[in-house]
Structure 1
């Protein structure tokens, strides 16, 4: 059976079973050994679009094929709730409104937050305390529904074996046992498909205004779903895996060859294992720094294109990548590198390798001094062992890719150099990566 067929079969087995609304909502955690409600015995086999068959579908169960259109998250239809979800942005609201959305999505009228809500936003489940410590919540994403499996009959009857297990007197222990075995609700519908969502929580102590938090959530959504929103251009761009190190300052860069045959170009970052004490007041985990931001070269700016002899691409974009909004007197903070990605623009006869960098803000700091590391000193260079592979293809690549690792560590006075920019280059026919190091005023 196909992957879709297997998921449909799991959904078919789930409808009619129990679910603990306060627990895990994945089908793996359905309650009961089988269905808890009586369904008509008659069943039929349903053909699937891929040629397979979904067997033994009860007459009371409907399997509906969806339109298979990519859908943006829209918690409240127009006129039925808050209007803080812009057409191209996230939905931002209070704790209570977001809990209402999750309950409504599950066809529940109760106001107590669901277990799935608590899990996705990393809440404790003590909802009054969770609400008190939450200023706002945001959700953004896309879903792709394929099938919907649902029970047609709106008047369901519990099996006699289940009825007999319901406590007839107030007995917390017996009630807990019943919920553990049978759950609190009956599953009447399951949607089969996929979704990609982000969930963002603003703590009550956050200093961000409502507008600033909305913009913060919008930036995260734009970055996360850039491939979806720009899918019309996706066929001409191929990217390597994005590398992000979070709140760990990057101090070194290196081009490497990956894959079993070491024939795939990638970039690695070297970062500090822990924050220096001088950094903690500006970048500790509780400090609000805003969303990280990707920046790269202009796609059509051929002034920076340097030719290279490699079958994978014909040119390298040598444009320097820096966070251009930061200047030496900017008291709002400095943006430092916390991620990187290599990509290739495909212009038909001309393909161009380029570099993108992820920048994160360090608030309350300014740049004291910056230097481009065009010619790294021997004390700041680590060279990768180039004799580890005997592949002829690998040997050819080593001639056009400089695997030198450049970094500045504690031995480079006065210490605490951080990377605030980088660029690719072509030197003596080899692709190189060069970094811009900066010292900060804290």
Structure 2
């Protein structure tokens, strides 16, 4: 149904545009280069015939597909982000197309001996015989979330070209800076005007998610005292040793590499220090709100204990909440999840309903008054050189969007 070559070419045209965001920037978008893709998307939306196409001063792109049915249908929306993570290079992306994947190792970069292997990435096995788009081993791919953008635009184009498919008014939005946790910060929910929406930002085919981590960031600062080591007895205080005490006092198995499913964790994401000062950056995650609050309290109590042990205010902590579990906002309107599940089933996709071990714009949007579950975009191994996406998964995601539009219109006949 969805033209494979056209979809592939569109996706590749997007990933070749560097849109890496910057967590240290105060502007929106956080990098000027995000405007390059944002403006391109505006032109494409106009070209396919959407209405009310706009881009605001922060690079949020919105557009409308008008209803083609006479009865009232709730306005629904679809959302994706165009920035890529600052965790890995998104410059000079050079995608490789693997036709009729044979189920064996894929050499991403012969010179650097970078191999995408099903022995390590077991999900590859389910895509034997399909067309994969991979990196060349030197950058990420950008399927997170340029696959989602591709799918939304392809679906809107299909609905425009096939007016016999009934649908209500559909709103779409493409956002900057999702990868640095700011994708929804300047999202104008009132202007968007949808009753509910879906982010096309999940991973493997079939994923349907309406719960995510509660999330916080913690900055831990340790103050030491630097003295000449030859005369340091009873005078020097090495901040790195105190930091080590803090790290070792947290539950060692409650870290990302030892947890799964709904299990929360503490993650030391960065540390920089010397004798005089050490600064640690943590992220705190848990699906359960009570456990989430307990994790934050545990870190605060640990800081107090260490200060008492050393007899001085040698360590401090600053904790900031980032986002919360959207489940509490989606459960009262579970029919929007049911519609997505039915849409998947009707296009022969088996729904995989599971919690997100991460965040999504949909979480923040849900708390801003726009309930927003997350649907698969098809990619795997996001944020690194082993990222890939099966073209057939993107085709199916596009079909899900089209079917969702149709089912919503029929539900309210």
Higher helix share: 2
Considering Cα pairs closer than 8 Å and 6+ residues apart, tell me whether 1 or 2 has the greater RCO: 2
Q: TM-score, normalised by structure 2?
A: 0.25
